[in-house]
């Protein structure tokens, strides 16, 4: 695989973690960074996540590959403008929703240079200091609407993701957004809501800290996630998020009703039904 000059636009957790892997796997000959937050740019340079910081237009001109790693609402406006400026560069994004991005450039004359991707990895932390080594190892990456992208762009993207340890899945953008709502987005909403419930009902910080079990900590861990990332995801994927959220509320009502009724057998059935997730997640 020929090493490329790669520009990463957005130097937070995801962009920073990918930069580490691009360095380590010798995929990049030069890593150019750009972020809307000057503090992120300075930190990324300090941590040697990127080789240099350049303004957006210069970063585009001096790169072979452009990777978008900012919140999805910002991507929707920026992606068409980047495609306006590219020649043969490959452009890919790392966003958690895909339909609006794909639709934003559907009729763009340079649409083929863009590859829509979603590496399924993240943590509750944000910023370049949160970047993690081996972040993407053995995780899935979804490539959406592959047939709309140029073959060379898709092939380079697939090889890059394989070299950093990911396994590839192909999916249509709307199907991706539906499945992401069920396996990712609802987990964050649940965590945010549970954290708010505890903070509302338990007024003693020391009690929360002292009594919190490992189960509680793992369930609310995602509640520390950055709202700048998650608000756009929920709103861009609103239809699917509301669908799964309404179903989740119905499931909570079932537990509430069985507990309220003292229905031991029915409550046991609900838990045994939930236990079937063991078939999928060990």
pLDDT of 134 above 80: yes
In this structure, are 194 and 166 located in the same domain? no
In this structure, are 107 and 36 located in the same domain? yes
pLDDT of 58 above 90: yes
In this structure, are 123 and 204 located in the same domain? no
Q: Read off the CATH number of the domain in which 190 is found.
A: 1.10.3660.10
Cα radius of gyration (the chain)? 21
Final residue before a domain boundary, out of 117, 151, 172: 172
Q: What is the pLDDT of residue 209?
A: 64
pLDDT of 200 above 90: no
Distant-in-sequence, close-in-space partners of 218: CB < 8 Å, separation ≥ 6: none
pLDDT of 61 above 70: yes
3-state secondary structure of 203: coil
pLDDT of 207 above 90: no
Q: What is the pLDDT of residue 137?
A: 94
In this structure, are 94 and 50 located in the same domain? yes
Q: Read off the CATH number of the domain in which 137 is found.
A: 3.40.50.720
Distant-in-sequence, close-in-space partners of 145: CB < 8 Å, separation ≥ 6: 98, 102, 116, 172, 173
Rounded mean pLDDT of 197-211? 73
Q: What is the pLDDT of residue 208?
A: 67
Interatomic CA distance for residues 158 and 172, integer angstroms: 16
Final residue before a domain boundary, out of 172, 203, 227: 172
Cα angle: 156, vertex 99, 146; to 5 degrees: 30
- DSSP letter assigned to residue 106: T
Q: Is the pTM of this model over 0.75?
A: yes
pLDDT of 204 above 80: no
Final residue before a domain boundary, out of 118, 145, 172: 172
Question: What count of Cα atoms within 13 Å lies in the side-chain half-sphere of residue 94?
Answer: 26
In this structure, are 182 and 47 located in the same domain? no
Rounded mean pLDDT of 260-279? 94
In this structure, are 252 and 139 located in the same domain? no
Q: What is the pLDDT of residue 79?
A: 98
Per-residue pLDDT of 145-176, as tens digits, reads: 999 999 999 999 999 999 999 999 999 999 99
Per-residue pLDDT of 232-260, as tens digits, reads: 999 999 999 999 999 999 999 999 999 99
In this structure, are 199 and 116 located in the same domain? no
Rounded mean pLDDT of 8-33? 97
Q: What is the pLDDT of residue 198?
A: 84
In this structure, are 139 and 10 located in the same domain? yes
H helices of the chain, where?
13-24, 38-46, 56-61, 72-85, 99-104, 151-163, 173-180, 186-201, 205-211, 214-220, 227-236, 238-261, 264-275
CA trace torsion 104, 181, 144, 76 (10° rounding): 20
Tokens describing residue 237: 């994927």
pLDDT of 35 above 70: yes
In this structure, are 98 and 183 located in the same domain? no
In this structure, are 35 and 138 located in the same domain? yes
Interatomic CA distance for residues 147 and 188, integer angstroms: 31
Number of domains comprising the chain = 2
In this structure, are 152 and 222 located in the same domain? no
Largest Cα span, the chain: 67
Tell me the residue range of the domain where 70 lies: 4-172
**Phi then psi for 275, rounded to 5 degrees?**
-60, -20
Which among 92, 86, 93 has a CA at the least distance from the CA of 62?
Answer: 86
In this structure, are 109 and 29 located in the same domain? yes
């Amino acid at each position: 695989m020929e090493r490329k000059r790669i520009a990463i636009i957005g130097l937070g957790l995801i962009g920073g973690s990918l930069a580490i892997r691009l360095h380590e796997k010798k995929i990049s000959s030069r890593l150019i960074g750009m972020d809307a937050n000057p503090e992120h740019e300075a930190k990324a340079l300090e941590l040697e996540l990127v080789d240099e910081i350049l303004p957006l237009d210069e970063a585009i001109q001096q790169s072979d590959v452009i990777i978008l790693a900012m919140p999805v609402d910002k991507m929707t406006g920026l992606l068409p403008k980047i495609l306006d400026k590219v020649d043969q560069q490959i452009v890919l994004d790392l966003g958690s929703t895909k339909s609006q991005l794909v639709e934003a450039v559907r009729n763009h004359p340079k649409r083929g240079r863009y590859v829509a991707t979603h590496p399924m990895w993240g943590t509750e932390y944000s910023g370049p200091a949160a970047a993690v080594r081996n972040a993407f190892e053995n995780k899935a990456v979804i490539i959406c609407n592959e047939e709309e992208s140029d073959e060379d762009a898709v092939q380079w993207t697939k090889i890059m993701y394989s070299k950093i340890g990911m396994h590839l899945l192909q999916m249509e953008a709307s199907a991706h957004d539906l499945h992401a709502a069920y396996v990712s987005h609802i987990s964050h909403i649940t965590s945010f809501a549970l954290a708010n419930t505890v903070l509302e009902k338990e007024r003693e910080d020391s009690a929360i800290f002292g009594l919190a079990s490992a189960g509680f900590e793992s369930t609310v861990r995602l509640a520390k996630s950055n709202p700048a990332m998650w608000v756009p995801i929920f709103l861009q994927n609103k239809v699917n998020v509301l669908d799964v959220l309404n179903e989740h509320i119905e499931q909570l009502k079932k537990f509430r009703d069985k507990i309220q009724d003292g229905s031991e057998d029915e409550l046991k059935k609900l838990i045994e039904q939930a236990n079937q997730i063991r078939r999928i997640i060990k």
